[in-house]
Chains A and B, each alone.
Chain A
Amino acid sequence: MVYSENILICIAVPLVIAILFTAKGTRSFLFSFVMGMVTCLISAYISGFLRFVMNVETEEMAVFYSPLIEEALKLLPLLFYMFVFIPDSSKLYTAALGIGLGFATFENCCYILSSTSPGLGYVLIRGMAVGIMHLVCALFLAIGLDMAKRLRGVMVPGLFGALTLSAGFHGLYNLLVSEPGIPAIIGYLLPILNVAVLYYPYEKKIRNGLVY
């Protein structure tokens, strides 16, 4: 039996100590990475609790409810960071990437440790698909927050729009990968295709450090 809390402590403690010895930019990235892992654990608690209370199957939970819970929880630390520290855009994107990566890393660690000796193919798929999917969802959230921050007039639709976009994308991924065969393959390819859509139009700006 592997407890998720033990994995979190093992990974997070050295990272938290490392925060003391790092420069400002790296520090915020490391902190958001740890926050991403904590968010993953809390969302697992909430999903588990709701599954018990609502008496729904694991599959139904994964396809319908988990995406919304996970994305809403990823949004919360970002909202706190945005409203309390009022960071510039590039810091906001760094924080979002950290949260997405932390979430994906922790989820992957738990899955891999809970299954007995997974094959290389499975490990690669988890890294390429789930890992990138959480990254893409966090980027969607950051884009929405950034837009909302710059354009006060459209703050509410921008914020909720970003949440629904990331939850919708996450839900579609979960639905596709829940069926083996062609749907799962399409699901695994979806995150990397979205990376292309997010990167290609803004390539020049990203290279110049302006993010979006």
Chain B
Amino acid sequence: MIDPLTLGLNIVQVSALVFSIAMIVRWLRNRGNSVVLGFLLYAYVCILISDIYWNAMLILKPELRIPFAASEIADMGAFLFLAAMLGEIFRNYRLKLGWETVLTAIHGVISVVFWTAWAGEWFKNIIGGIPFIYYLFIVVWSSKKIQAFTKTEKIWIAVGIYVLNVLQGIGLLVSSLTDIMNYISYVIIGIGFALLGAKTYRTIRKAFREESSELARKALALSLITLVWTQNGMYMSNEPFYSIEDVGFTVCVLLILYSVFAIHKNSPDDEAEWGMI
């Protein structure tokens, strides 16, 4: 059965998604077609479907085992559409491997191993892990290309992610330490979200103020990195921390929306190209 905190926070998230979808639809209607906004629209519709499905499942059929539900399928769709959107925005940047992308791929594989260990379902986690790893790879690659972070910041993020992996690994292997490892993880996730969220918000404001296309792209890469950080945290967390981190996810939905609007506003030439679809 769904608890009131989860339900309340999910209603907030659904409202934010409906608001975002309405804003994108209005933009598409008034300013013409855009493939980038189209991808974002479909990604948000996927997240909305996933949210509604998950809540409906918990309310209507709490007794039913969920083997490979539409919510997980829709989540995969959201990953793929967000990756497609980034791929289109950064299509003029050359794809080149670096230590960041290699570490990302390793982290993706570790995540799939954790999900399988926690849930005990290997098939759906491997199938779901493929689009997740691809999405992680594209997000990190685009943030690298636009130089969204300084070298020190990149090292701190990588250290943060791998420390979380080590803590969760210890928690998994030594059951007496699970709780303490989880609490330390929640603190790291919270601090990381606050720092990344603040940096993203500042960059979006600056992008609108200075009408810079480069800053808008940077803001988008930052907001997606914040989203990835939050999603990682959510997948590691139990209730009620999962629901609390869902608030961070909702904030990221809005940050991404405004970053994409900033890109469209500040890049009239690219907008004309994206309108080809």
Contacts and interface: CB of A to CB of B under 8 A. Distances in A.
B-side binding surface: helix, strand, loop or mixed? Answer: helix
Contacts of A140: 42
Interface in B75-89: 76-77, 80-81, 83-84, 87-88
Interface residues of A, number: 42
A48 interface: no
Contacts, number: 137
B105 interface: no
Interface size, B (range): 35 or more
Interface stretch (A33-41, A127-135, A145-153): A145-153
B50 A157 contact: no
Nearest to A170: B70
A153 B138 CA distance: 12
B67 interface: yes
B237 interface: no
Nearest to B43: A161
Interface of B: 21, 25, 28-29, 33, 35, 38-39, 42-43, 45-46, 49-50, 52-53, 56-57, 60-61, 64-71, 73-74, 76-77, 80-81, 83-84, 87-88, 91, 131, 134, 276-277
A151 B34 CA distance: 12
Contacts of B53: 168, 171-172, 175
B266 to A, nearest CB: 22
Interface of A: 59-60, 63-65, 67-68, 140, 143-144, 146-147, 150-151, 153-154, 157-158, 160-165, 167-172, 175-176, 178-179, 183, 197, 200-203, 205, 212
A201 B53 CA distance: 25
Contacts of B43: 161
Contacts of B50: 168
A175 B276 contact: no
Contacts of B76: 160, 164
Contacts of B66: 64
B46 A165 contact: yes
Given A165-B74, A165-B77, A175-B60, A201 B28 contact: yes
